[in-house]
Chain A
Amino acid sequence: MKNHSRLLKILRKTETGEIMEDKVFDKLVTATVKELVKKYDIKYNKEDAINMDDDLADRIFEAALELNTRVGMYCISTHRRMEFTREEILDALKWAPDHVVYGAGLDQCTVRSREPESTIPVINVGSPYGTPINEEYYSKIMESYAQEPEIDTIYGGTFNEVYGVKPKTHSPWEILMTWREIELTYTAIQRANRPGLAIGTGANSVSEVGSLTTTSFGGFRQTDWHQTCFISELKTDYANLMRMTHEVKSGLIIHDFYNPIYGGLAGGSEGLALIATAGVMMLPVVYLSTTHSMAPAHPFFNSNTAPEIVWSISAAQQALTRNTHILTTVMTSPSGGPLTECLLYECAAIATMASVSGASRIDGVRSAVGVEVNHCTGLESKFNAECANAALGMSRKQANEIIKQCEERYVEFLGKQPIGKPFQEVYDLTLMEPIKEWQDMYLKVKDEVRKMGMPF
C-alpha cells in the first residue's frame, strides 16, 4: 500500500515536534473544539435520533480538518506535539485503502468503502470486544460468534484468569495469554467449520508485547487484522506506534480505533461529533491503517447508546463517509447484557445508525459495557448484524424513526447496569445454542423491531 511509504515521516514527527506538557495540549484541544463548534455552526437537534443534514456533515468534516491542522496529535512518550498540514492529511486520505480483503478461502470477505444510505454490503464483526472471560469458556464463547452465518470476522475477549493466574499487562503473562488467545480462537473457528475466518488479533495484548510476539512466527496470520489505537483525546504513544511499526513492516492489515468521551475534553454532543471525526480522520494518517473504528463512551454509563452519543456518531460517520473513501467502522457498546431486551434494542439502534451513516464495518457487541465476566454471547452479535444488513439502502429518515422507537425502549435502563446473565447460563454448551428463554426474547424483539419498519 502506497501510504506505508510515509512511516518514517510519521515517526520523525514524534521526535521533532514542539515539546509540550500534556495539560497544555488538552487545553488547546478544548479551546479549539469550542471555537470550531461555533465557527462551523455545529448543532445537535434533540428531536432527531441521527443526523440527516448533509450540509452539517460536510461542515463537521471541514471543522475536523481545521482542528487537525491547528491542534495535531500528542505523543505521550516524547511529550511532543505532532503537527500536520491540510495537504498532508488530504494526501494521506487519498492514498488510504478503499477496500480490504479479510480471511482466506471460503471465509474470505471484502470490506468496502460506503457512503450514507449505501446499498453496498457491510462487514459484520462478532465479538465480546475485550470483555473479561474465564479460560474455561473462552473457546465456546468465540465459537458462539463464529458459528453465526451473519458474522464475517471475529475478535476476542480478555482472559479474566489464565493458567490459574490473574494476568498482568506488560509482563510474561501477557505474552502467555495472547498465545492462549490464538489457541482457543483457532479451536473455535475449527469447531464452527470456518477455518479461514479472519480474526482481529491481540485482544489480550494491552501493551505492545502480546501483539508483537503473536504476530511473529507461528502466531496470527496475514489474513487476520491487527489492532492499535489512539488515546483520547488525540494522543498516541510508543506502545501503539511500536505495534503499528511492526505491523507495517510485517505487511499486516491494521485496524485501529478512537474512543472519545462524551462530556470530556470536547464537551457535549457537538464537540463529540467534531472530535470523533477529527480523530478517525487522523487514524489512517498516523497509523497507515486500513479500517478505523469509533466508539465514544458515556462518562457514567460507559456505553455508547445514549441518544446524545448516537447522534454524534451518526454525524461523525456521515462527515467521514461523505467526504472520504476511508473504511470506517462503528462498535455497538451497549449497557445491556445477555438475556435483556435492553441489549437487543441498543444493538438495533447502533447497527441501524451505523449502516445508514455509511460505515463499512459494524463491530458488535461489547455487551454490558465489556466489564462483566462472561456477559457476552453470539446471539446479540447475530442480531446486530441482522439489523445492519436489513438497513442497507434505507433512508436516514426511515432509520431515524426506527432508532427513536428503539431508544424509547432502552433509555430508562442506561446507568442501571442491566447486565443480564453470563454466557454459561444463557447458552446450552453442548448444543451450542441459546437457551429457549434467550432465543424467545430475541425473536420477540426482532418482531417488535420489524413492526417499527425494519425490513428483516
Chain B
Amino acid sequence: MDKLFDNLMSFVQEGEIEASITEAKRAVEEDGIDAVEYLQSVLAPVMNNLGDQFSRMEIFLPDLMVAAEAADGIRDELMQYIEVASDAQKGKVVIGTISGDNHDIGKKMVATLLGVNGYEILDLGTDVDPMAFVNAVKRDKVDVVAMSSLLSTSMPFVSETIQYLVAMGLRDQVKVVVGGGPVNPEWAEEIGADGYGHDAKQAVDLLDRLLA
C-alpha cells in the first residue's frame, strides 16, 4: 500500500490528473487491489495528507483543486469495479454563500476539502437565495446544507433559511452547518444550526461527526 500511496501522491502533486486515474485503474487491474480497498486505503490517505499540508499552507488552493479533480476522476473510474453501492461517498452536501454575499474563497476551500474527503458536493455558488437551499433539500435529497456568510448583513439570511426549513417540515431531514468570518459557534447555536466550523479542516471533521 505504501508504494501505491507514493505512486498516487506523486502524480497528484505533479498535477497529472489523467495519470492519477490511470494509476488507480492499473492498481486494480494489474496489482489486483480491490477497488473499494483502493479508495479507502490509498485515495483517502493521500487526500488526507494533502488536506493537512493545505491547513499548514505548505500547498495552496490550486494544488487542492487538482487533487479534488483527480479524486473525482478516480472515484468515477473505479465505480465500474464496485458492484453494490458502497460507502465510497460519505454524503451529499449542498453548499453556497448566502444571499447578498459574494465572498467565495473560504466556501470554495470548504467545498474542495469536503470533496477531497469523499463528500458529494452540490455547489450553488455565491449570493444564494435561501429558497435555493430549501429546494436542494426537497429535490436533490442532500444530507447536509452548508452555508457560508462573511458579512454581518448576510447572516440574517442564514437564519431565515433555517426558519424556512422548519416551516416547511424539512428541518429533520438535513444537518445544517454554518461558517465564515463573523460567524461564531454561539450564533450557530442561537439560530438552530447543527454545527459550526472555523476552517475547512474543521468542516470535514464536523460533517464526519454529524453523519457518523
Contact = CB atoms under 8 A, between A and B. Distances in A.
24 contacts: A22-B125, A30-B62, A76-B102, A132-B152, A158-B153, A166-B152, A167-B153, A168-B99, A169-B153, A169-B154, A206-B151, A237-B102, A239-B102, A263-B57, A263-B61, A264-B60, A265-B61, A267-B60, A271-B60, A299-B61, A299-B105, A300-B57, A302-B181, A371-B181
Contacts of B60: 263-264, 267-268, 271
Contacts of B101: 169, 206
B57 A168 contact: no
A264 B99 CA distance: 23
A300 B199 contact: yes
Interface in B95-128: 99-102, 105-106, 109, 125
Nearest to B180: A371
B25 to A, nearest CB: 24
Please give me the 4 A-B residue pairs with the lowest Cβ-Cβ distance, nearest first: A169-B100, A169-B153, A30-B62, A263-B60
Nearest to A165: B156
B155 A264 contact: no
Given A170-B100, A299-B105, A299-B106, A265 B62 contact: yes
Contacts of A76: 102
Contacts of B62: 30, 34, 265, 267
B157 interface: yes
B65 interface: yes
A270 to B, nearest CB: 11
A120 to B, nearest CB: 35
Dominant secondary structure at the A interface: loop
Contacts of A160: 152
Interface string B19-34: 0000000000000000
A204 B154 CA distance: 12
Nearest to A369: B181
Interface of A: 22, 27, 30, 34, 76, 132, 158, 160, 166-170, 173-174, 204, 206-207, 231-232, 237, 239, 261-265, 267-268, 271, 299-300, 302, 369, 371
A168 B100 contact: yes
B188 to A, nearest CB: 15
B61 A371 contact: no
Contacts of A168: 99-100, 153-154, 156-157
A279 to B, nearest CB: 14
Interface residues of B, number: 25
B169 interface: no
Given A267-B61, A299-B109, 16 more contacts: A34-B62, A76-B102, A158-B153, A166-B155, A167-B153, A168-B99, A168-B100, A168-B157, A169-B100, A169-B153, A231-B102, A239-B102, A265-B61, A267-B62, A271-B60, A300-B57
B123 to A, nearest CB: 9
A299 B64 CA distance: 14
A299 B182 contact: no
Given A263-B61, A264-B61, A267-B60, A206 B153 contact: yes
Contacts of B109: 299
B154 A261 contact: no
Contact of A132 (B54, B99, B182): B182
Nearest to A232: B105
Given A263-B60, A267-B60, A369-B181, A166 B156 contact: yes
B65 A30 contact: yes
Nearest to B152: A132
Contacts of B153: 158, 167-169, 173-174, 204, 206
Contacts of B154: 168-169, 206
Contacts of B156: 166-168
Interface string B67-106: 0000000000000000000000000000000011110011
B22 to A, nearest CB: 21
Contacts of B105: 232, 261, 264, 299
